[in-house]
């Protein structure tokens, strides 16, 4: 499978501490949507950034 358009070549790994009940419910939701927890979280993060940029303006990253 190839890389999707706009998808980075490398990924950032980070640790997330979360309440166990929220984690289990989120795991249920991601499974219901047919996604991994990672994919579900990435989609939510992307949507949040898009909403922010629409309200506040494009975020310019230094390269």
pLDDT of amino acid 11? 87
Radius of gyration of the chain (CA): 14
State the Cα–Cα distance between residues 31 and 40, nearest whole angstrom: 9
Model confidence over 1-59: pLDDT tens digits? 456 666 667 888 999 999 999 999 999 999 999 999 999 999 999 999 999 999 999 99
State the Cα–Cα distance between residues 57 and 50, nearest whole angstrom: 9
pLDDT of amino acid 33? 97
Q: Where are the domains of the chain?
A: 20-56
- Helical spans, DSSP H, in 2-36: 20-32
Between the two ends of the chain, the Cα-to-Cα distance in Å is 27
């Amino acid at each position: 499978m190839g890389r999707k358009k706009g998808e980075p070549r490398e990924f950032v790994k980070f640790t997330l501490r979360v309440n166990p009940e929220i984690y289990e419910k989120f795991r249920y939701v991601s499974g219901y949507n047919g996604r991994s927890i990672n994919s579900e979280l990435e989609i939510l993060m992307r949507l949040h950034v898009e909403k922010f940029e629409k309200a506040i303006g494009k975020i310019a990253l230094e390269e």
